[in-house]
A and B are shown apart, each in its own frame.
Chain A
C-alpha cells in the first residue's frame, strides 16, 4: 500500500497549518513595526508626493514595515512582565500541587478493592469535564459572587442563628464576604477545571501495575505502607508526570479562568498575550510573549523528560 498520493497532501497540510504558523510567531516575535521614513516633496505639477530613503518617489503615503529588532525582548524583561510571568508560574505550580495531592489518592482508592465498579466511578469523576469549561467556571462564579449563592446562604444562616452572626461579627467578617476576584479564586477555578486531568493518567498507570508484584511484596513481609512506597509509587510515576504536564501547561497559559474568577485583578501571562491581539493591538509584542510561553512550556517538558516520549512510539513503529 505504498502510495505517494497520500503523503504529499498530508505533508503539505502539516507544513501550512503547523510549521508556517509557528514560523510566523517567530517572525512577528523578532520584528517590530515602524513607519517607513519619507520626505514630502512637491512635484512639478503641484501634487504632493513622497520620497523614500532610497530615492524612489511615490504618490502613495508610505505605510509601515516590519524591521528585525530585539526591542520586544527587552520590553519582555521589564519588571512588569517578569512579575506577571512569575505570578503565572506560581499559580500554575500551586494548582498542579493541589491537583496532585487531591487526585493521587482518588486514583489510588479507585484502583483498590473498595469499589466494585471502578470504571463507573471513574466515568462519574470525569463526567463534569464534558461540560464546556466556561460553564464550569461560570458555575463557581455564580456561587462565589458577592450576591451569590454562598453569600446568600451565609446571611440566611446569620439571620436564623444570632450566635453565628455574633461570632462572625466578632471575627470581623463583613456582611458580604468577598470570595471572587483574587488569586485564591483563580486557583480554585483551575483546580476545579483540571483535577480530572491529574486523576486520569495516574489511574491508568496504577491500574496496569501487575498485582502479583504487590502480592510478592506482601509475601516478602512488606507492610502495606512499604509496598506502596516501593512498588506502587515508583510504578505510578509516569502517570504522575503525564498528569503534572496536563495540569501545568494549561494552567500556566490560561487567560479565561483568570479573567472570570479573577475579574481582571489577577492578570496572568495569557491575559497579556490576549490583550496584545485585542485591545492593545501590538501583535509583535504578543508574538514575543507567545515565544516566551512556548519556551517555558518546552523547558518544563524537557525538565520532566517528556519530549523523548515520541521516540518510544517510533521504536514501536520500527519493530513492525
Chain B
C-alpha cells in the first residue's frame, strides 16, 4: 500500500513536471523542429536576448509588477486599516465590495475595467494596464493585512498616544511593525498575481504596450518558436531557485513542524 501511495504521488509529479522538463531539454536542441534532436546549442538563448519584442515585454511585466505591487500594498494596507476602523454595517458593505473582484471571474474584471476606461475616455496603454493591475491586487493585500490587524492588541495604539506619539508616529512605530508580515505577504501576492496575469491585461492594454503573457499568447498562436522554450527555462530556473531558497529556510528551522506548511507561499 505504502509503495502504491508513493507511486501515485510520483505519477502526479511526472504529469506536472514532464512538460516542463521537455521544454527545458528542447531549449538546448539545435534543430528548429522539435521532432529531432540536433545536438546541444545555446542559439535560442542568444536569439531570445536579441529579441526586442520579448525583452521589452519582460521589462513591462517587471515594471508593472513592481509598481502595481508597491502601490496596491500601500492602498491595501490603508484600506485594511480603514475597514478595521469602520462601524459594523458599513464595514460589512465595504467587505462585500472588496470581495467582488475575487468572486468575479477574470474575464468579467477585465471587461468591466475596459468599459470604465472607455467611459472615462482614457486611451488604453501603460497607464490603464497599471491601474488595472492595482485594481485586482488591492483586495488580496486587504485580506492579507486584515487578520494581522485583528490580532493587534487594541491597547497598544492607545498606549502610544498616551505616551505622546502622534497618530502617524503611533502607526509607524507601533502598528506597522506588528502587521508587517501581512503587509509583506500581501506585496508578494500582488507581485506574483501581476506577473502571472494575462486575462485582465489582455483587455486593458493597448497602443503597443504588451507584457510577457500577451507576447507569449500572440507567439503561441502564430506557431511555436524554440525561443519561448529558452524563456520558459530561464523563468522556471529563477522561480525554482527563489522558492526552494525561501521555503527551505522556513523548513530547516523545524523540519518536523507541519504547521510550517502554511508558510509555503502559494500563488493564489
Contact = CB atoms under 8 A, between A and B. Distances in A.
Given A6-B82, A126-B264, A126-B266, A106 B8 contact: yes
Interface string A94-106: 0000000010011
B90 to A, nearest CB: 9
Interface in B210-265: 212-213, 216-217, 220-221, 224, 228-229, 231-232, 235-236, 239-240, 243-244, 247, 251, 255, 258, 260-264
A25 B81 contact: no
Interface string B78-117: 1101111110100110111111110111111101111110
A298 B36 CA distance: 48
Interface size class for chain B? Answer: 35 or more
Nearest to B12: A106
A148 B170 contact: no
B59 interface: no
A15 to B, nearest CB: 8
A179 interface: no
A112 B107 contact: no
Contacts of A273: 107, 111
Given A122-B264, A132-B196, A297 B97 contact: no
Given A1-B170, A138-B220, A143-B19, A25 B150 contact: no
A1 B81 contact: yes
A24 interface: yes
A11 B82 contact: yes
Interface string B167-207: 10011000100000000000000001001101100110000
Interface string A130-149: 11111111111111010111
Contacts of B131: 17
Given A6-B78, A17-B135, A133 B198 contact: yes
A10 B79 contact: yes
B111 A277 contact: yes
B78 A25 contact: no
Interface stretch (B20-28, B38-46, B48-56): B20-28
B111 A287 contact: yes
B6 interface: yes
B165 to A, nearest CB: 11
A21 interface: yes
A286 B119 CA distance: 16
A21 B107 contact: no
Contacts of A307: 103
A102 B8 CA distance: 10
Nearest to B119: A24
Interface in A248-290: 249-250, 252-253, 255-256, 259-260, 270, 273-274, 277, 283, 286-287, 290
B213, B266, B268, most chain A CB atoms within 10 A: B266
A10, A277, A314, most chain B CB atoms within 10 A: A10
Nearest to B100: A18
Nearest to A255: B107
Interface size class for chain A? Answer: 35 or more
Interface in A221-253: 246, 249-250, 252-253
Contacts of B267: 126, 129-130
Contact of A13 (B75, B95, B116): B75
B35 interface: yes
A246 B105 CA distance: 10
A19 B109 CA distance: 11
Contacts of A13: 75, 79, 138
Interface string B137-158: 0100000001000100010010
B2 interface: yes
B229 A142 contact: yes
Contact of A290 (B96, B107, B217): B107
B264 A123 contact: yes
A132 B192 CA distance: 10
Given A102-B12, A117-B251, A126-B264, A24 B115 contact: yes
Interface of A: 1-3, 6-7, 9-11, 13-14, 16-22, 24-25, 28, 102, 105-106, 109-110, 112, 114-115, 117-143, 145, 147-149, 151-152, 192, 195-197, 200, 203-204, 207, 246, 249-250, 252-253, 255-256, 259-260, 270, 273-274, 277, 283, 286-287, 290, 293-294, 297-298, 301, 307, 310, 313-314, 316-318, 320
Given A11-B82, A117-B255, A293-B105, 16 more contacts: A17-B116, A17-B138, A120-B247, A121-B9, A122-B264, A131-B239, A132-B196, A145-B34, A145-B224, A149-B35, A253-B108, A256-B217, A260-B220, A277-B111, A297-B104, A314-B92
8 closest A-B pairs by beta carbon, nearest first, are A21-B112, A139-B19, A152-B35, A253-B105, A24-B115, A17-B135, A10-B79, A7-B82
